[in-house]
Amino acid sequence: MEIAFVPGTPVRGASPLARFLPPLEQGSVAAALERFGKKSDRVLDPFGASPRLAVEAAAEERAVLVAVNNPVARYVLERTAKPFTIHDLQSALSRLGSAPKDGGRLEPFLLDLYRTQCSRCGERISADYFVWDREDGEPVLKFYSCPHCSQTIEEPTNEEDLRRAHEYERRGLHHAMALEQLAPRGDPERQQAEEALAVYPSRAVYAIVTVLNKLEQLDAGEAVRALLLSALDQANALWGHPEGRSRPLQLSASPRYLENNVWRALERAAGHWALPDPKVGLREWTDWQSLEPGIVTIYPGPVRELAPQLPTGRVQHILTVIPRPNQAFWTLSALWAAWLWGREAADPIRAALRRRRYDWAWHASALRSTLRAMKEAVGNQAQVLGFIPDAEPGFVAATLSGFDAGGYRLTGRALRSEGQAILTWERDPGPEGSVSLSGIADSMSLAARSALEARGEPARYALPHIAAFSALAAERLLAGVRPSETRSALGVVGEQLEAVLSDQHLFVHVGRGAEPESGRYWLADESGAAESLADRVEDAVLAKLRSSEGNTALEIDTGLCKQLPGLLTPDRRLVMAAIRSYAEFDSEDKVWRLRPEDQPEARKADVEQMLRLLGNLGARLGYQVSGTDEIEWRDEVHQSSLLFRVDETAKFGSVMRRRSGSAARVEAIVIPGGRGALVAEKTRRDLRLQSWLESGLRIIKFRHVRRLSEDTTLTRENLMERLALDPPGQEDPQLPLL
């Protein structure tokens, strides 16, 4: 069931509605398709959650059919497949800014809405944003770059700023026009539309309606609508300050939120939509036979309406990003669609206005209903490849439960601890399995223990969670669980898992808080545990660097994910720490190369030098010195000793298991200075290692041994103090001059 995770490249820079769309890495779909069917296969994306997925699949010569019910998501997909040029966008912005308004132009009119005064030169300028305090109901800070004196500053607002902010009444004409477009008076969803509109500051509503009026007058084209769509996202109160929610799920203003200048948002939007041309085709759905390789075909509606139009049993490949329920995005999408394309465009998703809560049980049920609606169209041997770019435990559990109940058996899993998962299923027309709650608990306990043993180190809650739930999904046991009087079926399974993990005879919960999802989990009996994942990653990275002339980080990461598949997938932070520990980046060729000092011959010479220096230093200080592979200094008078283990790596697992634990012996591991940051990363990940280090184990760097060997002031009395002067995470301190 373990499959290789497929890493891509994290997307840099802004893109349309990025905070609401799944954070799918660039290139991950193309790489995954190498093991999923063959070129020219027809693939169905029933959820249409990610524009990137459909476009990358088409670029790999798949015939892609996407059902997209959300008109906003559909628009982003269309403009990802057929992007605007930067010239198109800049021309559209110029036409919009030049539109007449109150005897002048629209651009200065909108900028004047955010007028303030520079505190240095006193000139009137337009603020880039104001920061509102939700509780106080007024702006408390402003940010601007003065074009007159070049001052760029965020500073408190003044009385004039407050007066201008409150000029735009919530119940004014522009507010009524904005509301009327979505839900006119008498509409049963009028109140919900009011609540959705309330997430916009009044001044933003005034600016938005002003621009919308110009769209009708100018017949400005789709590029202007694209700019405005991004501005609509930028102008609401879901942008917290100073950081806030990067991926908001609920439609509620942040305690301190940004009121962005709408014209400045329009200017920034040009960069969001100037996407590279993927060179794929785009067309609307007509029939199954019209699907062609390299073309994205869009069905503008839910897949339950598409399914009856598909030939029976012909869908053999489902490729999708599992959608995450997001009340904020779907509610705002209804608002945006009505504003940009008219009330009828929003009709398919107006139900989002009424729903205020999407829990995981609801999501599992929604997935089940969707999959069952596709039953006749999907072949009995059909395969599913699903990406979950933000794979928190509840989301994964709902996904596994929904697919199980929808008639699919889990066949593959890969989890990256940053919160990314890839899952595969196959169609299973047979009945779901039947098992008792005690049987479920036993299965989950075994799966969680096996996953931790294989990983060889404590892990966050997500690992035993997905191990346990996926073990049930592989046997189709999730769908057979029945709800209790107080819990959904999903909640019942979750309770069983919490009970399993709280069994102190089997599991240890370290660094924990009040919630089960806090801290890390480990085994009460670790005798069967494998070598730690961190040490295996270090080994694999070093082997790769020593066997080649240069590699990109993605090449190394991809190789590691193949070597350590499924629940062993290493997180990118650990991989990069290992790479940086041994390699240097060639900025010209864009590859990582092994440092000269980490070549095998060089490190062998270093280790021999360390052993020699430690032997000589111990003798100089009057200790009885012994050992060849390890150097021991014995003090016969005090019956104590110091043991130095020299290693070119930062692999401490085997050393820790054979430590003597004697109070009369001080143990030290001597490593190259380049391993310091890797040791710090391993310590952050593994509280056992942190505890071992705090118990008296010392980490000493090669360079420090060289300095100590030359230090004529070193004595037995100041030895321990001097040994501690260069800890692993420190860059390069100098010994004090004495």
**Span 67-105, pLDDT tens digits:** 999 999 999 999 999 999 999 999 999 999 999 999 999
- Using the predicted structure, report yes or no on whether residue 559 has a pLDDT greater than 50: yes
> 247 or 731: whose pLDDT is higher?
247
Give SS3 for 478: coil
User: What is the chain's mean pLDDT, rounded?
Assistant: 92
In angstroms, what CA-CA distances link 136 with 133, 162, 167, 200, 436? Answer: 5, 12, 16, 16, 54
Share above pLDDT 70 across residues of the chain, in percent, rounded to a whole number: 96
Give SS3 for 433: coil
Could you name the CATH architecture of 600-723? 3-Layer(aba) Sandwich (3.40)
Q: What CA–CA distance (Å, rounded) separates 575 from 557?
A: 7
Q: What CA–CA distance (Å, rounded) separates 342 from 27?
A: 36
pLDDT tens digits, one per residue of 205-230: 999 999 999 987 777 689 999 999 99
Q: Would you state the structure tokens that stand for residue 188, as one six-digit string?
A: 């049963």
Minimal CA–CA distance to 451: which of 441, 463, 443?
463
Share above pLDDT 90 across residues of the chain, in percent, rounded to a whole number: 79
In angstroms, what CA-CA distances link 460 with 414, 510, 533? Answer: 15, 10, 14
Q: What CA–CA distance (Å, rounded) separates 403 from 492?
A: 17
Distance of CA 441 to the CA centre of its chain: 30
Residue in this structure with the two tokens 């435990």, named with its chain if needed: 393
- Using the predicted structure, report yes or no on whether residue 730 has a pLDDT greater than 70: no
Cis peptide before 242 (omega within 30 of 0): yes
pLDDT at 197: 94
pLDDT at 728: 64
- Using the predicted structure, report yes or no on whether residue 110 has a pLDDT greater than 80: yes
Q: What CA–CA distance (Å, rounded) separates 655 from 32?
A: 39
Mean pLDDT within 422-436: 88
pLDDT at 658: 63
pLDDT at 11: 86
pLDDT at 636: 84
pLDDT tens digits, one per residue of 491-505: 999 999 999 999 999
- Residue 738: pLDDT band by 50, 70, 90 thresholds? very low
- Segments making up each domain of the chain, as ranges: 1-83+278-430, 88-273, 533-594, 600-723
Least reliable range by pLDDT among 206-210, 216-220, 300-304, 551-555:
216-220
- Using the predicted structure, report yes or no on whether residue 245 has a pLDDT greater than 70: no
DSSP code of 300?
S
- Using the predicted structure, report yes or no on whether residue 735 has a pLDDT greater than 70: no
Q: What CA–CA distance (Å, rounded) separates 524 from 507?
A: 5
Query: What are the two backbone dihedrals, phi and then psi, of residue 141, each rounded to the nearest 5 degrees?
Result: -135, 160
Mean pLDDT within 137-153: 97
- Using the predicted structure, report yes or no on whether residue 135 has a pLDDT greater than 50: yes
- Homologous superfamily in CATH for domain 1-83+278-430: Vaccinia Virus protein VP39 (3.40.50.150)
- Cβ atoms 494, 440 nearer than 8 A: no
Q: Would you state the structure tokens that stand for residue 559, as one six-digit string?
A: 């190789």
Type of residue at 79: R
pLDDT tens digits, one per residue of 359-416: 999 999 999 999 999 999 999 999 999 999 999 999 999 999 999 999 999 999 999 9
Q: What CA–CA distance (Å, rounded) separates 434 from 301?
A: 36
CB atoms within 10 A of CB 577: 24
- Cβ atoms 396, 465 nearer than 8 A: yes
Q: What CA–CA distance (Å, rounded) separates 490 from 276?
A: 42
- Using the predicted structure, report yes or no on whether residue 315 has a pLDDT greater than 90: yes
Q: Please give the full DSSP string across 255-289, using - where no structure is assigned.
A: SEEEEE-HHHHHHHHHHHH-------EEEE---GG
CB atoms within 10 A of CB 570: 23
- Cβ atoms 643, 655 nearer than 8 A: no
Q: What CA–CA distance (Å, rounded) separates 16 from 275?
A: 9
- Residue 737: pLDDT band by 50, 70, 90 thresholds? very low
Taking each continuous run of H as one helix and of E as one strand, the counts in the chain are 28, 26
Cis peptide before 727 (omega within 30 of 0): no
pLDDT at 265: 97
CATH number of this structure's domain 533-594: 1.10.10
pLDDT at 9: 94
- Using the predicted structure, report yes or no on whether residue 736 has a pLDDT greater than 50: no
pLDDT tens digits, one per residue of 597-616: 999 999 999 999 999 999 99
- Residue 631: pLDDT band by 50, 70, 90 thresholds? very high
Q: What is the pTM of this model?
A: 0.93
Give the range with max mean pLDDT: 242-256, 268-282, 637-651: 268-282
pLDDT at 12: 81
Least reliable range by pLDDT among 181-185, 303-307, 560-564:
181-185
pLDDT at 54: 98
pLDDT at 734: 43
Q: Would you state the structure tokens that stand for residue 539, as one six-digit string?
A: 């080994």
Q: What CA–CA distance (Å, rounded) separates 232 from 221?
A: 17
- Using the predicted structure, report yes or no on whether residue 434 has a pLDDT greater than 80: no
Residues paired with residue 296 on neighbouring β-strands, in sequence order: 64, 282
β strands within 50-107, DSSP E: 63-67, 100-101, 104-105
pLDDT tens digits, one per residue of 638-677: 788 999 999 999 998 777 766 555 556 788 899 999 999 9
Q: Would you state the structure tokens that stand for residue 588, as one six-digit string?
A: 């010209």
